Amino acid sequence: MDGKSIFDELKEKGVSRREFIKLSGAIAGAIGLTSFPSVEAQAGTSARFPRAYQPAQLVAKALASKPRIPVIWLEFQDCAGCSEALTRSESPTLVNLVLNMISIEYHETLSAAAGFQVEEAKRAAMEKYAGQYLLVVEGSVSPKDGGIYCSIGGRSSVDILEEAAAGAAAVIATGTCATFGGLPKAKPNPTGAVSVMGLIKDKPVINISGCPAIPEVFTGVVAHYLVFGTLPALDSLNRPTIFYGNTIHDRCLRRPFYEAGKFASSFDDEGARQGWCLYKLGCKGPTTYNACATLKWSGGLSFPVQSGHPCLGCSQPDFWDGGGFYQGQSAPLSKPAGTLGAMAAGAGVVLGVGSALANKQQKKNAKKSEPGEKGGSHELE
C-alpha cells in the first residue's frame, strides 16, 4: 500500500489495458451500474464524461485513480464457509479482480503468520489505516457468560469486534451467521449468539446474507464502495437492494409451474423429473431475498432450485428455525406437542364440566323457586 493505484498493480501483474477495460465493464455489470445521471453526479465525473457516459469507464476511472482498500477480516462463530466460497469462486476473473482491489491486512484463516505475530500485525494495520479500513466480519458474536464461548488470544469476540469496529470506515457482515446469527443462533442458541448488527450500533453495517454469502455479491459490494466511496442502498435488513431486491420465487425458472399449480411431491416423482415447482417439498423461495436465481452459483452454472432442491431460505433471519427444510412453507412452524394439546383439551373439558355442573345446579334451583306446584316438568323434545 504505497500510493499505487489498483490499475498500476494490475499492470504489474500483466493485465493489459484492453483486459482492464473489459473487467471494468464486468464489475460495472456486477454492481448493477447502468446509465443513469445520479450515478454520474455521485461520482463527480460529469466534467470528464460530458456526453457519452459509460459505466465501464466510470469503474475504470475509479480503479485507475484509487489505491487498494485496506481490509480487516474477523472470524467468530463461523465455519469459514463464506471465506471458502469467496476464495474458491468459479468466476475467478471477477472475484480475483476484486480481491486485487483490496489488501487483506488480517484474516485468521488466510494469513500465513499466526499467533502473537499476526495479532500484532492487526494492531498495526488498525492504527495505520484508522478510519479508512473496511471491517469484514464472518460468524456470529457471543456475548453470553462474559464471552467465554468464543475468544481469541484470551479476548472475547465482543471485545475484538468492538475494538476493530471503532476504527473502521464501514462494517460488512458476510454470511448469515454474521448478519443474522445464522446456525450458531439456531434454537436453543447455547452460546447466546448475536449478529454483528445486534452489537454494532454506531457504524453502518452492511449485511451480505446467505449461507454462504454469494461471492459475487460480496465483491459487488466492495466494488461499489471502491467506485463510489459509499455503501449501496440497503433494505430494511441492511442488505444491498441491488442483490436482495427480489425473492428467489420472483426470478425462479420453475415459477410457471407454480402458477399452474404443478408441484413435485417427492424428489423422484414425475413432477420432479419434469422440473415442476418445489413448493410442496419445502421451497422457501417465496419469502427468501437473494440473488441466487439471477447470479447463480459456480460461475453462473446453476442454483439449488434449478438443480432440483428447494430453496432453504438461507439468506433470511432464523432460517434454521423456519420450519423443516422439506416441509411446505405454509405448514405451521410449531404445532402443539401432544402433551400441550392434551392439556388444552383437558382444560376445556374441565371448564365445560364445571360449567355444566353449575348449570345443573341452576336448573335445580329454578325448579325449587318456581311458585306453586310445578314439579315433574319435562324438557320438551
Question: Where along the sequence are the contacts to another protein (CB under 8 A)?
Answer: 236-237, 247, 249-250, 258-263, 279-280, 286-287, 316-318, 321-323, 327-336, 340-341, 344-345, 347-349, 351-353, 355-357, 359-360, 362-363, 366-367, 369-374, 377-381
Q: Which residue bears the cell 482498500? A: 69
Rounded CA-CA distance 251/351 in Å is: 52
Binding of ligand HEM by 334 (CB under 6 A)? no
By a kind-dependent CB cut-off of 5 to 8 A, residue 148 interacts, out of ligand SF4, ligand HEM, another protein, none, with none
**Residue 32, Cβ neighbours under 10 Å: how many?**
16
Nearer to another protein, 45 or 327 (CB): 327
By a kind-dependent CB cut-off of 5 to 8 A, residue 262 interacts, out of ligand HEM, ligand SF4, another protein, none, with another protein
Q: Binding pattern to ligand SF4, positions 116-155, x when CB under 6 A?
A: ----------------------xx----------------
**Residue 64, Cβ neighbours under 10 Å: how many?**
16
Binding of ligand SF4 by 222 (CB under 6 A)? no
Q: What is the CA radius of gyration of the chain?
A: 29
Rounded CA-CA distance 232/221 in Å is: 7
Nearer to another protein, 224 or 249 (CB): 249
Q: CB 381 → another protein: shortest distance, Å?
A: 4
Q: Which residue bears the cell 462463530? A: 77
Closest CA to 363 of 378, 351, 353: 378
Q: What is the 3-state secondary structure (H, E, C) of 249-261?
A: HHHCCCHHHHHCC
Q: CB 96 → ligand HEM: shortest distance, Å?
A: 41
- Determine the straight-line distance between the first and last CA of the chain, rounded to whole angstroms: 97
Q: Which of 330, 334, 339, 369 binds ligand HEM (CB under 6 A)?
A: 330
Q: Which residue bears the cell 315433574? A: 376
Sequence-ordered strand ranges (E) for the chain? 69-75, 102-107, 134-138, 151-152, 155-156, 170-174, 205-208
Binding of ligand SF4 by 255 (CB under 6 A)? yes
- Which positions lie near ligand SF4, rule CB under 6 A? 78-79, 81-82, 138-139, 175-177, 182-183, 211-212, 248-249, 252, 254-255, 258, 277-279, 283, 285-286, 305, 311
- Which positions lie near ligand HEM, rule CB under 6 A? 330, 332
